[in-house]
Amino acid sequence: MNVETQKVKIFMQKHDNQKRALISILQDIQAEFNYLPKEALQDVAKTLEIPLIHIIGVATFYRSFSLEPRGKHQATVCTGTACHVRGGPKILDEFERKLGVEAGHTTEDRQFTLETVACLGCCAIGPVVVVDNEYFAHTSIREVGSILKKYRKKEKDNE
Q: What percent of the chain has pLDDT over 90?
A: 84
Got the DSSP string for 102-123? -TTEE-TTSSEEEEEES--S-G
Kindly state whether residue 48 falls inside one of the protein's structural domains. Answer: yes
**Strands, E assignment, 6-148:** 73-78, 105-106, 112-117, 129-131, 134-136
Per-residue pLDDT of the chain (159 residues; tens, 9 = 90+): 677 888 999 999 999 989 999 999 999 999 999 899 999 999 999 999 999 999 999 999 988 899 988 999 999 999 999 999 999 999 999 999 999 999 999 999 999 999 999 999 999 999 999 999 999 999 999 999 999 999 987 666 665
Asked whether residue 57 falls in the same domain as residue 103, the answer is no
Residue 50, helix vs strand vs coil: coil
Backbone angles phi, psi at 71, to 5 degrees: -75, 165
Give the pTM.
0.75
Asked whether residue 27 falls in the same domain as residue 87, the answer is no
Asked whether residue 81 falls in the same domain as residue 149, the answer is yes
Kindly state whether residue 67 falls inside one of the protein's structural domains. Answer: no
Asked whether residue 40 falls in the same domain as residue 79, the answer is no
Quote the pLDDT of residue 1: 65
Burial zone of 15 (CB within 10 Å; 0-12 exposed, 13-18 middle, 19+ buried): middle
Asked whether residue 42 falls in the same domain as residue 77, the answer is no
Last residue of a domain, one of 61, 88, 104: 61
Asked whether residue 152 falls in the same domain as residue 91, the answer is yes
Quote the pLDDT of residue 159: 57
Kindly state whether residue 66 falls inside one of the protein's structural domains. Answer: no
Q: Which residues constitute the domain of residue 104? A: 73-158
Number of domains making up the chain: 2
